[in-house]
Amino acid sequence: MLHADSAQFLRPAPAQPKSAAPGYVTAATSLSFFAAASAIPYFAPQLAGFASLVLLYLLLGSGLALEIWLAGVPDFAFPVWFAIGAGCEAIVTGTFALPFWTGLPVAMVLTAALAVCVLAPLLRMRNEHVAVITLAFGAVVQILWSQSGFALPAETIPGASGNLLYLCVAGMAALAGLVAWRIRRSALALMLRAANEDEIASRAVGVDARRCRIVIVAIGAMFAGAAGCLFAAGQGSLRPADFDLSLMAVLLVIAVAGRRSQLNMILAAILATVLWQYLPAAPALRLLIAGAALLSWPLLRSIAISTPRDVAARDAGQTEAAIEAAAE
């Protein structure tokens, strides 16, 4: 049995406060990337199409990473919110002949409202059940859309001019990254991390985890709706194949890569765009790759969560608790 005097010698040394410099360096580097990307249409217009896809993936990945890693909500219906944003842009600008800038806020608000209506009743379930239900919901929506035959051919959705639309995509992607970076350092993130560790204890001290998760779901869906609106305005057309489950696989890989750093998410988005859009064999293997990525989600999640830093922090906490119990 350990005594109190000996326990204080075994107590681990207090952790040194971590410097905030690495986080600000990452933020500055990310903003530099977005600033360089904004200059592409003027200095390298042949790369504008590739860069716009990368920025759209970053916009979508930022929202999905917030939902999966911060709120703990495996929202596999994310391509549906992306499609709803594109559909809003088509209806607002095509059917009602309103300007592009009117469709963007409408798409963001409507997508957030629908996502909250769908996911709010599921937040009381286990994550595995939420993943299966949202994945099935996305598959059903995509199948019904394909069977309905609804599609808009090219040049039926009026949009902004090329450079202006590209700058809007770059601005929205940078704004999404900045908002996600700020949320991860806010009181909301602290409450969600506490709820993910021990929801009963966090509820006892007044933390409403369900309401916090709903806020994150709404923010992530707004990012998806904005991406869909910008995608539809750039493409000028809508096809069900643009919103299939293979898109979810790409976004999942980007979200897993971007759990720790926005720079990792940028690199993953660039690599995903290269592999997905420019390899000849990619279109034929899309569904196979998508299925493998979605099936491996629990393994990817456990690997991403069990990083050395998390394991060391958890072990240190368990050691300190054991020493305190022995001292008593």
Query: 190-212 pLDDT, tens per residue?
Result: 899 888 888 787 888 788 889 99
Quote the pLDDT of residue 238. Answer: 81
- Reported residue count of the chain is 328
Q: Is residue 327 part of a domain?
A: no
Quote the pLDDT of residue 67. Answer: 94
Q: Is residue 262 part of a domain?
A: yes
pLDDT one-digit tens code per residue, 262-297: 888 888 899 888 877 766 555 556 666 666 766 665
Q: Is residue 227 part of a domain?
A: yes
Q: Whole-angstrom Cα distance, residue 250 to residue 276?
A: 8
Integer angstrom CA distances of residue 145 from 61, 80, 239, 244:
24, 11, 9, 10
Number of domains present in the structure of the chain: 1
Q: Higher model confidence: residue 325 or residue 51?
A: 51
152-166, 258-272, 307-321: least confidently modelled range: 307-321
Q: Is residue 296 part of a domain?
A: no
The model's pTM: 0.80
Calculate ∠ Cα 184-314-204, nearest 5°.
65
Q: Is residue 194 part of a domain?
A: yes
Quote the pLDDT of residue 257. Answer: 81
Q: Is residue 6 part of a domain?
A: no
Q: Is residue 67 part of a domain?
A: yes
225 and 110 in contact (C-beta within 8 Å)?
Answer: yes
CATH number of 221's domain = 1.10.3470
DSSP bridge partners of 152: 238
pLDDT over 70, % of the chain: 72
Domain range spanning residue 216? 22-282
Q: Higher model confidence: residue 324 or residue 89?
A: 89
pLDDT one-digit tens code per residue, 96-144: 878 888 889 999 999 999 999 999 999 989 888 999 999 899 989 988 8
Q: Is residue 91 part of a domain?
A: yes
CA-based nearest residue to 272, from 61, 80, 11, 79: 61
Q: The tokens of 318 are what? A: 């368990």
